Amino acid sequence: MKQSLRKLVISMVLMLAAFALVACSDNASAINTEKPEDAPDTWIADRTITGLVFQSANDASVDMNPEIKEYIKERTGINFELQTVTAEDSTEALASGLAAGDLADFTAFYLNNSGRPEMQLLLKAANEGMFTDLTPLMEDTETYSKYLDEDYLPADTRDNIMFRDEWDGASYLVHMAINREGGDAGRPTVGGLYIKKDIVEALGIDPLEVNNSEELYDLAVQIKNENFTDDNGTEITVIGPTAWGGSDRDWLYNDLVWTGISGEKFMKNDDGEIQHEAQTDYGIKRVEYVQQLMNEGLMTPEYYTMEETRAKEGIVNGSFAIVSDMHNYMPENNDLAYIPLGPIERVDGTNDMVIPYKSGYAGWAIPSTTEHPEHVMQFADWLASEEGKRLYFYGLEGRDYELDEQGNPIVKQEVLDLLESNPEEAKKRGYRGVGAYWGEHLGYTDMANEADFGELEYGSSVVQKDTSAATEALELYNYDERLENARVIDGMTVQSFLYEFEGDDGNLTTAFNRYNEDMLRAYYAKTLEEAQIILDESLTNLENNGLNEFLDFVEQKEADGVTIKF
Amino acid sequence: MENLVVHNGILKTRQELELHYNPVKDSFWTRITKHKVFYIMLFPCLLFFLVFSYWPMGGLVLAFKEYGFNTGIFGGDWVGLQYFEKFFSDPRSSLYINNTIIISILKLFIALPFPILLALMFNEVQSNKLRGTFQSISYLPYFISWVVVVGLMNQLLAPNTGLINQMIEAFGGDGSTFFMMEEGLFFPLAFISYVWKGIGWDSIIYYAAIVAIAPTLYEAASIDGAGKIRQVWHVTLPGIAATIIILFILSLGDILSSGFDQVYLMQNPGNADVSETIDTYIVRTGLQGGQFGYATAIGLMQGIAGLIITIIVNKITSKKFGTSLW
Amino acid sequence: MSDSMAGTRFMRIVNITLIVLLSLTIILPFMHVLAISFNSGIDAQKGGITFWPREWSIENYIEVFKQENLMNGLWVSVFRTVVGTVIGVGLMAMAAYALTIKTLPGRKYITFFVFFTMLFSGGTVPYYLVLNELNLTNTIWVFIIPSLYSVIHILLFRTSFSQLPFSVIEAARIDGCSEFKIFRSIVLPMSKPVLATISLFTAVGHWNDWYSGSFFIRDPLLKPLATLLQEMLTRQAALSDILLRSSGTQAYAQLDKVTVTGESLQMATIIVVMIPMVLVYPFIQKYFVKGITVGSIKE
């Protein structure tokens, strides 16, 4: 009996092997590097380049317009394909994708700065030899070769993401969305707190004069006492969540958050020591403030949890007197029912505009399994060139825009009309201006819209809507004046040293994440004492996982001359 | 009757017949060849489980190894019990285990009678059409994902704007309770929504088992003067007992995994102390950080616990009810 | 006698009342979903729709059928459901039948080999790596091959087959029928209830499964309807993800990129995804009249 079982097992294993062999048979598509005679100068190779994108659901924009694909094929010989793994959390998707080892010809991911959790995964993968060294490939390019210039990249990108000391000049990760010029604020944007215009008028206040949490509280009480109603006649909610749903954004209580502009909850105390918020009393101060607002009915209890649909619903109906985060281009605010409020000062007492020298939010890499990785680099370079960018931003000449004498694209009126009347249909034309983002992954860098296209905003040179809500909000905010006085800063954030400090281990990273979750729990604790216990536990957890050693490590870095931004 | 067959004009019992076809003296190999057609039928099945169940089980060594993207499952360095120590040194791990067990008990034990009850109730509906309609309605929720269900709950139970709170306010109460945020309501809400979503679908199999009971048994009971309730108690329930027990034991393997989707979606800062389970913890700290070794170690513990509990319960039911899985 | 008649009558009324109440808790939320899906999208944004549309419109349904990726997903779903169910049910029935043959040498071991997989598994990560190793990921077969067999369905089949009248099968065997023929022309036709039930379970499992489409598939053309719907519904997760990851105004460019699907369009998609399976049920229902049972592994 036992023998028969063994035979059975052996025969099954053999079958299995045969099966696996068949399944693994090579099906790599052909790459033809022989340039056809009639091919343009921009021709790279006759091949398919497939990109695998790890981003949150719905954010990857993998669909491409066929005519645009055709144009790319004509100009470069490349058949460009994008695929995506979706998960509720992009880092989780990235982790499983790296584990599977099958990363297509290139892979793209979120990467705001080197302090993000995905950075640990990417460094682990790079150190294990999963990615191709890009430095030699970049040398032969037009746009990406700029990355090799000493002054082009911001410090964090250069020293922590791309050219790390331990890699000796090699680079494995490309950071994207880098501006051509430092200190470029890009699209003029006013974000943060907004308040209902009619309430401002009824109360006769100056919304820009509300600059700290006490003043905001007084304003909230004032609004509450006036018994305003929304469009449906129901009582107004004084402080609502962000326009994208509940979240713990700093805008509302900036002066109670232990951070500068990085949002990482580190600052120097009066003695010049770097401290985490858990080591200060700012956490409990914030809890006290939030609980006061909630208990007095000034803030919606769903401030941290409301779903986006209902948050938008609230804005459309004017149900929130104050929206805790939105920006001046939101279609829901086309009638400028909401105008900018504040901003609230930071913990150091400033509230001026601060612009990062340059910053990025995504990145890509070429797996070491990719054949002819130089094709991917050349293709990325073409996409980042003027021709590639114009294709990605403006679509096809003749179909979507015409060129003026200076060589700037003039968007066709019919496209703008379609965008206005049927955005879904317009999107099918397939480029950034109408909401299709396929070019973001390889081509969106070295940004300077004004110089490249003669306008900052898609179509803004055609539509002369001086009175549009977005522009008006800028004026109300004194945007130009603030921009003139803006500080430009560069440097590394504290968390960007985490990997160097703890390697793959990730315990302190987890502890930092847990602190943020504990803050939320503390807001909803029944009493202040209970909240204090939660925060104390969180501090113990941070210290047990090496917080103090880490801060010493960072202070040493600073002493060694590294610029740190808080 | 069924155990008797006519063979060559002689009435034989099944056992005798089997003996006839498979005399014990047949060599082992002959018996194998005689049955080769059955092995052919079984072959794809065995191959399937070998590949998709046993092969991944080999991956469990990851619980004791360092995972590297380039070294894969088997190539990394041994780390011993490091991951288990890490889990138990987390001061909140006992909290996660507790929460997981509570949710499991709610789902496996407390929720168990509901679909059975519904199946019994369906069985009492006389009109086929009516019963069919009700059955179709009852299993609708099975087709919507937890995202939708929890979304509907959020709407229904929202403070001030939710339907429930508006009703409370209409009756003069305070309509600002944030039900989803209440720690004490997490388990009841999780339980109710779980039963609501699965009751119709789960009742299908019990209903099918009820229908399989021979009508003669009811007639006999009826002649003995048993009323409806007593018929259910003495005929229907014993008739489906085996089905209930087997399905119950089969579900025990999941005792330490409380179902990810629902709990994860229902989590919020107010109920974090009762809603963080082993499953949500794995995803947060293991999978999202690429710490596969750690995630696998915790998964292994869940699996072993499930296995042990299944074996124990199987023993108990075998003794008490005479029904067991194996 | 009349007392017990009245009692029965009373019981029946209670019974129906309870069932109706349960049905109401199901119908009302669905009315809500339907109402939003039949309401014009822009108007639905204002909220406040309960059980009846405020501004009737079928634009959402038209839009669902106009979306190429959804229609493509529909075909993927139909393909995997039909092919997966037909092949899966056939193979499972065959294996279960072989396991009812008491004289089969090694039967106990084989049974244990199969059923043990229900009690213990290797976990998600190794499973994923195996699928990848077999080059199944990112092909349509990842929906079909790894879900061909289910232990509990084999168990249902086996219990049902072992209750078939032995004499009929034995008579055919004596007549010289091949085992495959016996299986096809005697066992299967006599097992319609269990076949119908397991086909329903398998088909619904295929139709509802969004998980494999989101983790094992990258090609947008291979994503089934359930996965596309899930992706549409979880955009809140994407937004929270972005809100968390960047401070200040840096998040806006990313937030604006998240595809926004209106609530009413979402609800219409939910309904469209549900309908095929809801329609299938009544056809299967008539087979339940004969009933099925589950027995234990040992016999």
Closest CA to C292 of C169, C189, C191, C150: C191
- CB contact (8 A) between residue C240 and residue A247: yes
Interface contact B292, partner C, CB < 8 A = yes
* Residues of chain A contacting residue B292, judged by C-beta atoms under 8 Å apart: 95, 99
C-alpha distance from residue A130 to each of A84, A160, A367, A492, B38 (Å) = 19, 18, 6, 26, 47
CATH for C63-290?
Answer: 1.10.3720.10
Q: Nearest chain C Cα to A346, which residue?
A: C248
In B, residues 41-70, which contact C (CB 8 Å cutoff)?
A: 41-42, 44-46, 48-49, 51-60, 62
Give the pair of three-digit tokens for residue C252: 């806006």
The residue ranges of every structural domain in chain A are 47-185+359-451, 194-352+468-489, 494-559
In A, residues 8-47, which contact B (CB 8 Å cutoff)?
A: 8-9, 12-13, 15-16, 19
Phi and psi angles of residue B6, each rounded to the nearest 5 degrees, phi first: -95, 125
Task: Give the separation between CA A497 and CA A565, rounded to whole angstroms.
Answer: 12
Average pLDDT score over residue span C194-220: 87
Interface contact B24, partner C, CB < 8 A = no
Q: Using DSSP, state whether C82 is helix, strand or coil.
A: helix
- CB contact (8 A) between residue A128 and residue B91: no
Q: What distance, in Å, lies between the first and last C-alpha atoms of chain B? A: 26
| Shortest CA gap A491–chain B (Å) | 26
- CB contact (8 A) between residue B269 and residue A307: no
What is the complex's ipTM, to 2 decimals? 0.88
Higher-pLDDT residue of A423, B82: B82
Place of tokens 């290797």: C122
> Please, what sign has the CA dihedral across residues B265, B270, B275, B279?
positive
Closest CB to B68: pick one of A94, A128, A524. Answer: A128
Task: Give the separation between CA B25 and CA C39, rounded to whole angstroms.
Answer: 77
- CB contact (8 A) between residue C233 and residue B38: no
Closest CA to C291 of B136, B246, B209, B127: B209
Interface contact B117, partner C, CB < 8 A = no
B19 beta partners: none
- CB contact (8 A) between residue A99 and residue B67: yes
Task: Give the separation between CA A495 and CA A551, rounded to whole angstroms.
Answer: 10
Dihedral class, residue A510 (left if φ above 0, else alpha if ψ from -120 to 50, else beta): alpha
- The topology (CATH level 3) of A194-352+468-489 is D-Maltodextrin-Binding Protein; domain 2 (3.40.190)
pLDDT of residue B310: 87
DSSP state, residue C297:
S
Q: What distance, in Å, lies between the first and last C-alpha atoms of chain C? A: 44
- In A23-57, which positions are buried (b, 16+ CB within 10 angstroms) versus exposed (e)? eeeeeeeeeeeeeeeeeeebbbbbbbbbbbbbbbb
Phi and psi angles of residue C122, each rounded to the nearest 5 degrees, phi first: -85, -5
Q: Using DSSP, state whether A488 is helix, strand or coil.
A: strand
Least confident of A261-270, A514-523, B17-26, C137-146: B17-26
Closest CA to A56 of A95, A83, A87: A87
Task: Give the separation between CA A69 and CA A72, rounded to whole angstroms.
Answer: 5
Residue A343: asked if its preceding bond is cis (omega within 30°), the reply is yes
- CB contact (8 A) between residue C234 and residue B147: yes
Average pLDDT score over residue span C148-167: 88
- Assess contact for C285 and A274: CB atoms under 8 A: no
| Shortest CA gap A82–chain B (Å) | 23
DSSP β-ladder status, A338-340 and A194-196 = antiparallel
pLDDT of residue A19: 46
* Residues of chain B contacting residue C110, judged by C-beta atoms under 8 Å apart: 42, 46
Classify domain A47-185+359-451 at the CATH class level: alpha beta
Phi and psi angles of residue A51, each rounded to the nearest 5 degrees, phi first: -110, 140
> Please, what sign has the CA dihedral across residues B9, B15, B17, B20?
negative
Task: Give the separation between CA B23 and CA A119, rounded to whole angstroms.
Answer: 69
Encoded amino acid at A477, one letter: Y
Task: Give the separation between CA B283 and CA B257, rounded to whole angstroms.
Answer: 12
| Shortest CA gap A337–chain C (Å) | 15
DSSP state, residue A162:
I
- Assess contact for A266 and A557: CB atoms under 8 A: no
Task: Give the separation between CA C116 and CA C113, rounded to whole angstroms.
Answer: 6
Interface contact A259, partner C, CB < 8 A = yes
Closest CB to A524: pick one of B154, B161, B270. Answer: B270
- CB contact (8 A) between residue A104 and residue C109: no
Interface contact A456, partner C, CB < 8 A = no
Interface contact C178, partner B, CB < 8 A = yes
* Residues of chain A contacting residue C242, judged by C-beta atoms under 8 Å apart: 56, 59, 244
DSSP β-ladder status, A47-54 and A78-85 = parallel
One CATH from 1.10.760.10, 3.40.50.2300, 1.10.3720.10, 3.40.50.300 for B81-320: 1.10.3720.10
Closest CB to B154: pick one of A99, A307, A509. Answer: A307
- CB contact (8 A) between residue C230 and residue B62: no
Interface contact A111, partner B, CB < 8 A = no
Interface contact A23, partner C, CB < 8 A = yes
Per-residue pLDDT of chain A (566 residues; tens, 9 = 90+): 344 445 544 554 455 444 444 444 444 467 888 888 888 889 999 999 999 888 765 556 677 889 999 999 999 999 999 888 766 667 777 887 787 777 889 999 888 888 777 888 888 889 988 999 999 999 989 999 999 998 899 988 999 999 998 899 999 999 998 999 888 888 888 999 999 999 999 999 999 999 999 999 999 999 999 999 998 888 899 999 999 999 999 999 999 999 988 888 999 999 989 999 999 999 999 999 999 999 999 999 999 989 888 898 899 999 999 999 999 988 888 889 999 998 999 999 998 998 888 888 889 999 998 999 999 999 999 999 999 999 999 999 999 999 998 889 999 999 988 888 888 788 889 999 888 888 889 999 998 988 899 888 888 888 765 557 888 899 999 999 999 999 888 888 898 888 888 877 778 888 898 899 999 999 999 999 999 999 999 999 999 999 999 999 999 999 998 888 88
- CB contact (8 A) between residue C48 and residue A232: yes
- Assess contact for A287 and A520: CB atoms under 8 A: no
Is C252's pLDDT higher than 90? Answer: no
Instruction: Give which of A236, A510, A523, A535 to mutate to test B binding, by max B Cβ within 10 Å.
Output: A510
Interface contact A124, partner B, CB < 8 A = yes
Interface contact A85, partner C, CB < 8 A = yes
- Assess contact for A275 and A551: CB atoms under 8 A: yes
Closest CB to A524: pick one of B32, B269, B284. Answer: B269
Furthest-apart CA atoms within chain B: distance in Å:
86
- CB contact (8 A) between residue B155 and residue A304: no
Give the pair of three-digit tokens for residue A454: 């003669």
The residue ranges of every structural domain in chain B are 4-34, 81-320
Phi and psi angles of residue A159, each rounded to the nearest 5 degrees, phi first: -90, -25
Task: Give the separation between CA A264 and CA A276, rounded to whole angstroms.
Answer: 9
- CB contact (8 A) between residue B91 and residue A541: yes
Instruction: Give which of C120, C141, C225 to mutate to test B binding, by max B Cβ within 10 Å.
Output: C120
* Residues of chain C contacting residue B323, judged by C-beta atoms under 8 Å apart: 296
Task: Give the separation between CA A93 and CA A95, rounded to whole angstroms.
Answer: 5
In A, residues 410-429, which contact C (CB 8 Å cutoff)?
A: 424
pLDDT band of C44, cuts 50, 70, 90: confident
pLDDT band of C83, cuts 50, 70, 90: very high
**How do residues A405-453 score in pLDDT, each as one tens digit?**
888 999 999 998 888 888 878 888 999 988 888 888 999 999 898 889 9
Interface contact B118, partner C, CB < 8 A = yes
| Shortest CA gap C248–chain A (Å) | 8
Task: Give the separation between CA B140 and CA B134, rounded to whole angstroms.
Answer: 10
* Residues of chain B contacting residue C289, judged by C-beta atoms under 8 Å apart: 211
> Please, what sign has the CA dihedral across residues A440, A446, A452, A457?
positive
Task: Give the separation between CA A149 and CA A143, rounded to whole angstroms.
Answer: 11
- Assess contact for A234 and A319: CB atoms under 8 A: yes
Instruction: Give which of C210, C250, C261 to mutate to test A binding, by max A Cβ within 10 Å.
Output: C250
Host H or E run for residue A175:
strand A174-175
Host H or E run for residue A309:
helix A308-316
In C, residues 129-168, which contact B (CB 8 Å cutoff)?
A: 129-130, 134, 146, 148-149, 152, 154-155, 165-167
pLDDT of residue B290: 72
Give the pair of three-digit tokens for residue A46: 């006759």
Touching subunits of C (3+ CB pairs, under 8 Å) are A, B
* Residues of chain C contacting residue B200, judged by C-beta atoms under 8 Å apart: 26
In B, residues 136-175, which contact C (CB 8 Å cutoff)?
A: 136-145, 147-148, 151-152, 156, 163
- CB contact (8 A) between residue B176 and residue A301: yes
Task: Give the separation between CA C220 and CA C111, rounded to whole angstroms.
Answer: 40
Task: Give the separation between CA A147 and CA A151, rounded to whole angstroms.
Answer: 9
pTM of the entire predicted model: 0.86
Residue pairs spanning B and C at CB distance below 8 A = 254
pLDDT of residue B18: 58
- CB contact (8 A) between residue A58 and residue C69: no
pLDDT band of B9, cuts 50, 70, 90: very low
Helix and strand totals (H; E) in chain C = 17, 0
* Residues of chain C contacting residue B303, judged by C-beta atoms under 8 Å apart: 120-121, 123
Do A47-185+359-451 and A194-352+468-489 have matching folds? yes
Furthest-apart CA atoms within chain C: distance in Å:
83
**How do residues A92-130 score in pLDDT, each as one tens digit?**
778 877 877 778 899 998 888 887 778 888 888 899 889
| Beta-carbon contacts of residue C131 (< 8 Å; ≥ 6 apart) | C137, C142, C146, C216
pLDDT of residue A370: 92
Task: Give the separation between CA B161 and CA C10, rounded to whole angstroms.
Answer: 40
Host H or E run for residue C60:
helix C59-66
Angle between helix B113-124 and helix B186-211 axes, rounded to 10 deg: 50
What angle is formed at CA A107 by the lines to CA A102 and CA A111, rounded to 5 degrees?
130
What angle is formed at CA A172 by the lines to CA A166 and CA A173, rounded to 5 degrees?
115
Closest CB to A85: pick one of C136, C218, C259. Answer: C218
The residue ranges of every structural domain in chain C are 2-57, 63-290
Task: Give the separation between CA A215 and CA B210, rounded to whole angstroms.
Answer: 69
Task: Give the separation between CA A137 and CA A129, rounded to whole angstroms.
Answer: 17
